[in-house]
Amino acid sequence: MATTTTAVYTVEGMSCAHCVDSVTREVGAVAGVSGVQVDLGAKKVTVTGEGAVDDAAVRAAIDEAGYEVRD
């Protein structure tokens, strides 16, 4: 049975419901991702997956949505 993993990203530039939808859609399409929760006020994106989720792919998906991950 695969282990569920969770990663939290701080994302700059999100300011509205459309931003949340864009990030959720792009990150949700990454292989292995089983859930995406966006906290607009905290600028946090929580990603869950079954097994290891490719960090670079999640970061690329956030970039594709038009936002920047802050380390």
What are the structural domains, with CATH classification, of the chain? 4-70 (3.30.70.100)
Tokens of 42: 């905290």
pTM of the model: 0.92
Looking at residue 49, what is its pLDDT? Answer: 96
Q: Is 64 helix (H, G, I), strand (E, B) or coil?
A: helix
Q: What is the pLDDT along the chain (71 residues), one digit of tens a residue?
A: 668 999 999 999 999 999 999 999 999 999 999 999 999 999 999 999 988 899 999 999 999 999 999 98
Residue 38: CB partners within 8 Å, gap ≥ 6? 11, 14, 19, 20, 23, 24, 44, 45, 46
For residue 2, the model assigns a pLDDT of 67
Residue of 27, 14, 71 whose CA lies nearest to 53: 27
Q: What is the pLDDT of residue 69?
A: 97
Question: Structure tokens of 41?
Answer: 């006020």
